[in-house]
Structure 1
Amino acid sequence: MTSETLRSTLLLIAALVSYDSLAGKNWPNFRGDGSSTVTADLPTRWSADEGVSWQVDIPGYGQSSPVVWSDHVYVTSSEGPFQLACQVHSFDLTTGKKLWTTRVEATTKVENYFRNSRAAPTCCVDDAGVYSFFASGDVTAMSHDGKTLWSTPLIKNYGEVANERGVASSLAQTDDHIFVLIDHHGPSYLVAINKSDGQVTWKADRGDRVPSWSSPAIARSGDRNIIITSSADTVDGYDVATGESLWQLAGLQGNHIPSATVVDDLVFVGSTTVYGGATDEDAVAGSNCCIELTHDDDRPGYKVRWGAERANSYYSTPLAFAGYVYYVNKVGVLYCVNQETGEQVFAKRIGNPCWASAVGVTHSNGEQLVYFVLKNGFTIVLRPGNEYDQVARNQLYDADAMMEARESAEKQRKTNSVPADQAKPKTGPEKVFAGMPERQLHQMFSYGDPMVYGVAVAQDRLLIRTGQALFCVGGEATQ
């Protein structure tokens, strides 16, 4: 085979993989291909009694989203007072049968506390295997049958993280590398890790940063891939091959939790007001902005297209779909703005915030719908347009199931509680809450289980993940 033939073959494979993601066969990363849009024939109506094809328990507790490759679903969880038992689980997409669980021995202790990150980073997956990342700093590659291929301990190698809520940034990937972002009160960095052997290819130092939990995203600028990080009050572009800093948009407020959404040459940034952080609502609204990627004289750049007037994006990432951009704030207000201008189209209270990012779905008949899976397990199905057009509101579990999940989560928290004499003193905003009863904190921050943390769409199925369970909506019911 000639080098040109080999190159053409590799390009074809890459194109097919991209098509599979867009067409809904695979969901390989946090938010699928990074846009949270997909072509799929999802149901629009279901309930706790009808339409849920299967449901399985996940050992331990986790806040990551599912990812899908072929007929395998992957999720993570952790257990123990210091989350020393980190786990990757594989389930059959059609039946929900657990295929395997592989344990990752944590190299750094992380307190198991409901206000902390608990197995929050989402895996990424490709045809060679699944790549996980935990708050302990351990990045691990596994084969599709659960065999560990390599493990790289970032925090052990580069120092502890001063982030009062733990590490929650999900992985991004290209064909050859995975990328990890760690921003905290200390030496922050972005690293590229070779998929084949776990070696760090490059490390881009970011200085002392505001603690953040957003995830990097891959974009295309001209003839090269770049990494977009929307985090710690800036948006940065890095060269995928070298880690070179290409540009930075500074002066933002509140982009510590939502990640950037990339659609072609546009980047949509999400920001929110947070305790102990950004409090200027006007500045935060304007930081929910649209950036256009530019390319002059072989040098990638950017220009700001618009900043929103009243948008606010809490835990979930903004969704750009069908000519609109959607944001959901911390009290469950949905903001819809025009994608071209940033002008507000409408604002509507939908009943609960979203911790899982919304998904834009194009059905095979051309119909376009937006699925908002709320923190409390209800799903709002919305038809895009200049007015709020609700198609359905679906319940995932009934009151009995909610009570059972709540009791299971409380039992798990007690089992994994850190002995008082071993707990580190709380810092930052968490210091204020250190002496308050857990029940009071649950009420204050609406942290009552079961909570929906993440979703995925693959092969006409909607996967919904709570802390201790995985649900599949669509397909033929097996239970």
Structure 2
Amino acid sequence: MTRPGTIAFVFCLTTASLTLADGNWPGFRADGSGTVKADLPTRWSAQEGVAWQSSIPGYGQSSPVVWNDHVYVTSSEGPFQQDCQVHAFDLPTGKKRWTTHVAATTKVENYFRNSRAAPTCCVDETGVFSFFASGDVTAMKHTGETLWTTPVIKKYGEVDNERGVASSLAQTDDLVFVLVDHHGPSYLVALNKSNGDIAWKTNRGMRVPSWSSPVIAKQNNRELVITSSADTVDAYDALTGEALWQLDGLQGNHIPSATVVGDQVFVGSTTMYGGATDEDATAGSNCCIQLTDNAGKPGYEVRWGAERANSYYSTPLAFAGYVYYVNKVGVLYCIDQETGEQVFVKRIGNPCWASAIGVTQSDGEQLVYFVLKNGYTIVLRPGDEYDQVARNQLYDAGAMIEARESAEQQRQANAVPADQAAPKTGPEKIFAGMPESRLHQMFSYGDPMVYGVAVAGNQLLIRTGQNLFCVSP
């Protein structure tokens, strides 16, 4: 059942994302909320409901973005990911329209535990903006011509991050934002969309590696850049880069990004090897922050910290009066959005690397889509109890074997020569001598693996390392 008083609250949440109903999905998790109004299919299989499947050259971990009838994804190739690629696909047919190559200005080993084209693009009416682990930010027309390239990491110094850079871009009308947190001088930088020039750069001091993405919040007539990363949540003025406030004392918010819905920010945190290990502190760091305004001065209040929750790779979803978190072994936590109290816990069978989507249909029904790492999608009806509508399979056993073999061939073809491989540092040093097959087993890295999703009109786009799928009514 739906909680009392939820209907009016839900209206406030969904009206902010109605602009996405025209078919555009302009960035990571759309507008940062992961919610959309659409009539998505609820049931499909490998044999029925998949409108098309297209192969993506190279390998990538970014989510799709959509503008009109263009779908954009990124990938990389080469032992040092020196060939970065932006691909445009035709939404109605899945046919690849173009690929534009970006020459990497810094080296990043093409290692399966490193980030490989993980940052998600953002897109607007002028074109598509991409960011790669090499630190190169680019702007391209919708026809594929490169407008400008800015080598951010080459400009500000190499990154000491044992898993590579994976933070996705955020955007306002005029700027794109890049977050770089690592064992060294960390920063948030804004680039002008028109020419790639640096609009401002704000130093964040010495940090620890994080891979979460900034998100935009709107407060009165002011746009804020919210970062949940490296054990703090920070707010910056999007126009000037001025640091406005910081919530510290958190633990484990290195991977999940923040969710912004209206004037609330929801933080995801997880226990992780070589980092956060205190389960109680991590649970409390899965929290809700209320944005405040005191005589024009932005601030915040912590409304609650969850008693028991954990969000691994995927970002928490706040939708229909609930907040959903999925941990690294596939346990779903449902938390009351107003109080932070636990509603239910349910093992759903596999973790999510793609973040969940909250969907409001044209008839008013609300559904949550959890696209699991192994290609299954669970469709859930929000409520005080676990109410599963459907469980759908994207590919069959034959397709899984074929994808696994293709990914293995890609890794071998792009392997870094032993005499050129850099010594592993941090937690990766412990794993350096282990066989790759053992590491795949330990960390469940077997392909095909779903990395990201998007909604285009009434279609669901699902991206694995080497393929893009479109599920349509």
Q: Choose the corresponding residue for 1:176, options 169, 174, 177.
A: 174
SS in 1 for 2:392: strand
Check conservation: 1:67, 1:125, Cα contact below 8 A.
yes
One-letter amino acid of the counterpart of residue 341, structure 1: T
**Structure 2 residue 428 is matched with structure 1 residue 430:** yes
The answer for the alignment partner of 1:445 in structure 2 is: 443
Give how far 1:21 is off: 3.8
**Structure 2 residue 208 is matched with structure 1 residue 210:** yes
Give how far 1:25 is off: 1.5
The answer for the alignment partner of 1:41 in structure 2 is: 39
Once residues 343 and 278 of structure 1 are traced to their aligned partners in structure 2, the CA distance between those partners, rounded to angstroms, is: 22
Once residues 66 and 451 of structure 2 are traced to their aligned partners in structure 1, the CA distance between those partners, rounded to angstroms, is: 16
Check conservation: 1:41, 1:460, Cα contact below 8 A.
yes
**Structure 2 residue 308 is matched with structure 1 residue 287:** no
What does residue range 251-262 of structure 1 map to in structure 2 within 5 Å?
251-262=249-260
The answer for the alignment partner of 2:116 in structure 1 is: 118
The answer for the alignment partner of 2:227 in structure 1 is: 229
What does residue range 380-399 of structure 1 map to in structure 2 within 5 Å?
380-399=378-397
Once residues 361 and 291 of structure 2 are traced to their aligned partners in structure 1, the CA distance between those partners, rounded to angstroms, is: 29
Give how far 1:18 is off: 7.3
The answer for the alignment partner of 1:8 in structure 2 is: none
Once residues 222 and 469 of structure 1 are traced to their aligned partners in structure 2, the CA distance between those partners, rounded to angstroms, is: 41
Once residues 275 and 141 of structure 1 are traced to their aligned partners in structure 2, the CA distance between those partners, rounded to angstroms, is: 36
Structure 1 residues without counterparts, runs of 5 or longer: 1-16
Q: Choose the corresponding residue for 2:101, options 100, 103, 122.
A: 103
Once residues 31 and 233 of structure 2 are traced to their aligned partners in structure 1, the CA distance between those partners, rounded to angstroms, is: 20
One-letter amino acid of the counterpart of residue 221, structure 1: Q
Structure 2 residues without counterparts, runs of 5 or longer: 1-14
The answer for the alignment partner of 2:341 in structure 1 is: 343
One-letter amino acid of the counterpart of residue 325, structure 2: Y
The answer for the alignment partner of 1:188 in structure 2 is: 186
Check conservation: 2:17, 2:35, Cα contact below 8 A.
no
Once residues 194 and 146 of structure 2 are traced to their aligned partners in structure 1, the CA distance between those partners, rounded to angstroms, is: 12
The answer for the alignment partner of 1:369 in structure 2 is: 367
Give CA-to-partner distance per residue, 1:361-415, whole Å, 9 cap, x none: 0111111000000000000000000000000000000000000000000000000
Aligned residues: 459
Give how far 1:81 is off: 0.2
Once residues 226 and 26 of structure 2 are traced to their aligned partners in structure 1, the CA distance between those partners, rounded to angstroms, is: 18
Q: Choose the corresponding residue for 1:79, options 77, 80, 99.
A: 77
Give how far 1:222 is off: 2.8
One-letter amino acid of the counterpart of residue 74, structure 2: T
Check conservation: 1:20, 1:26, Cα contact below 8 A.
no
Once residues 201 and 18 of structure 1 are traced to their aligned partners in structure 2, the CA distance between those partners, rounded to angstroms, is: 27
Q: Choose the corresponding residue for 2:164, options 166, 184, 203.
A: 166
Give CA-to-partner distance per residue, 1:348-371, whole Å, 9 cap, x none: 000000000000001111110000
One-letter amino acid of the counterpart of residue 380, structure 1: I
Give how far 1:22 is off: 3.1
The answer for the alignment partner of 2:355 in structure 1 is: 357
CA RMSD after TM alignment: 1.0
Q: Choose the corresponding residue for 1:59, options 57, 60, 67.
A: 57
Once residues 117 and 20 of structure 1 are traced to their aligned partners in structure 2, the CA distance between those partners, rounded to angstroms, is: 32
Check conservation: 2:324, 2:335, Cα contact below 8 A.
yes
Once residues 41 and 68 of structure 1 are traced to their aligned partners in structure 2, the CA distance between those partners, rounded to angstroms, is: 17
**Structure 2 residue 29 is matched with structure 1 residue 31:** yes
One-letter amino acid of the counterpart of residue 191, structure 1: V
TM-score, scaled to structure 2? 0.96
